Amino acid sequence: MLWGAMAPVLRFAPSPTGLIHIGNARTALLNALLARREGGTFILRFDDTDAERSRAEYAEATERDLAWLGIPPDRVHRQSDRLAIYRDAADRLRAAGRLYPAYETAEELERRRRLQLARGEPPIYDRAALRLNAADRARLGSEGRRPHWRFRLEARTVAWNDRVRGPSHVDCASLSDPVLVREDESFLYTLPSVADDLAMGITDVIRGEDHVTNTAVQIQIAEALGGSPPAFGHHNLRTTTGGEGRSKRSGALALKSLRESGYEPMAIASLAVLVGSAEAVRAVASLDELARLVDLAHLSRAPAKFDERELEALNARLVHEMPYSAIRDRLAELGVDGGEPFWLAVRANLTRWTEAAEWWPVVAGPIRPVRDDPDLAETALGLLPPGPWTGETWRDWTRAVAEATGRKGRALFMPLRLALTGLDHGPDLAALLPLIGPERAQARLAGEVA
């Protein structure tokens, strides 16, 4: 037990500015599964203080995606409902002399930055605003300039024991004082996140390694607010096989598109959690089992590569073993009503369950048979046994056809498959034949669309 007697409280805190993708799913799952395993709480918090870019429809889509993955949150919060808490935190930082007004425009800052770079200096904010006195500020105010607000960092090294990366530190002397409040008084992500983590009693923040620098800043802010910061763990980021990350807004590898193209949630969860871990990537059957495999301390720090082919392989494994009871309703939605025998006949040939729809006409018709060996088809037609057909019918029938024609192996089976299904590949015909049934089989062997 890592948390002593305290039940952990974890959160997934996306900005609802796009659809969540498999990389976000990694973050969400690590937090949710740790909470589940330790009997803790999993909070979904929408970091939506950027009113311009945040969209209710993305928040809804995120909730839907998490529910589909099997990790609905215990609670949902929206930062846009909690602005009073952040204003109060900002006031406390001001009172403590840690939040100061600055008036530079973006152009001024950019000019100074270039100058610093030209002089070979690090491009750190020079704190010119700290040298303004009350009269300067009054003058700027009377000119109609409104300040943004920066957090005054202490020039010290902030260290923490990262739950993924081990002992970590950032020298804050090398950072610019971060802007926490914009000119229009809206909040950037940094302060609300800290205020909420403290107010919600978050014990652990597991997030992407792009937040390592933020963590040092946020630890200083938490301390300035008199709080004790949570533990932090930074996992590696998803990249595609090509090595380049894909953006949340591009829709690429979005959970929604993966769901719509027929992937199983457990295939995605298994890959999202196990890739780059000490465990072999495999199709895990349940979230409880997956939760037992989470081991933050042994996550690789190398970029985790999400490979869609790997996802397909995991998915196929799950589909090949999926019982009919787990798929019945979905098949019905597709208009496939072949019952359990159909599902058991085709599942081994599927990568994704949705492909069952492609096999349905083979059983239920109509398809155009391929009769590339009319003589064989004629003989076989004459030897078709009367119904009802069973799992043995195929074997008995093809034995009889083999005896009558002297054919065997591929020369026997391929023309029959082509005639019965119109395709040169597919599920085991012993299982398919009874589903096709005598009437359709006769017609197809005679070369008719049926």
Binding site residues, ligand GLU, CB under 6 A: 13-15, 47, 189, 193, 205, 207, 211
Pairing of strands 204-208, 231-235: parallel
- Residue 13 or residue 296: which is nearer to ligand GLU going by CB? 13
Q: Residue 166: which H helix or E strand, with range?
A: strand 166-171
- Residue 254 or residue 319: which is nearer to ligand GLU going by CB? 254
Give me the least distance between CB of 416 and ligand GLU, in Å please: 57
- Residue 15 or residue 393: which is nearer to ligand GLU going by CB? 15
- Residue 172 or residue 376: which is nearer to ligand GLU going by CB? 172
By the 8 A CB rule, do 317 and 298 touch?
no
What CA–CA distances, in Å, run from 113 to 123, 124, 176, 400, 410?
5, 7, 11, 86, 74
Give me the least distance between CB of 197 and ligand GLU, in Å please: 8
Give me the least distance between CB of 157 and ligand GLU, in Å please: 21
Q: Residue 205: which H helix or E strand, with range?
A: strand 204-208
Give me the least distance between CB of 74 and ligand GLU, in Å please: 17
- Residue 15 or residue 398: which is nearer to ligand GLU going by CB? 15
What's the CA angle centered on 230, arms 255 and 212, to 5 degrees?
Answer: 60
Give me the least distance between CB of 172 and ligand GLU, in Å please: 18
Closest CA to 188 of 177, 198, 174, 199: 177
Q: Is 63 exposed, middle or buried (0-12, 13-18, 19+ CB in 10 A)?
A: middle
What's the CA angle centered on 380, arms 376 and 381, to 5 degrees?
Answer: 115
- 3-state secondary structure at position 101: strand
Closest CA to 222 of 92, 377, 387: 92
Q: How far apart are CA 13 and CA 63, in angstroms?
A: 12
Give me the least distance between CB of 211 and ligand GLU, in Å please: 6
Structure tokens at 438: 């005598």
- Residue 12 or residue 389: which is nearer to ligand GLU going by CB? 12
Q: Residue 309: which H helix or E strand, with range?
A: helix 308-320
Give me the least distance between CB of 450 and ligand GLU, in Å please: 55
Q: How far apart are CA 205 and CA 344, in angstroms?
A: 44
Residue type for position 125: Y
User: What pairs with residue 261 in β-bridges?
Assistant: none
- Residue 189 or residue 343: which is nearer to ligand GLU going by CB? 189
By the 8 A CB rule, do 25 and 268 touch?
yes
Give me the least distance between CB of 42 and ligand GLU, in Å please: 13
- Residue 81 or residue 424: which is nearer to ligand GLU going by CB? 81
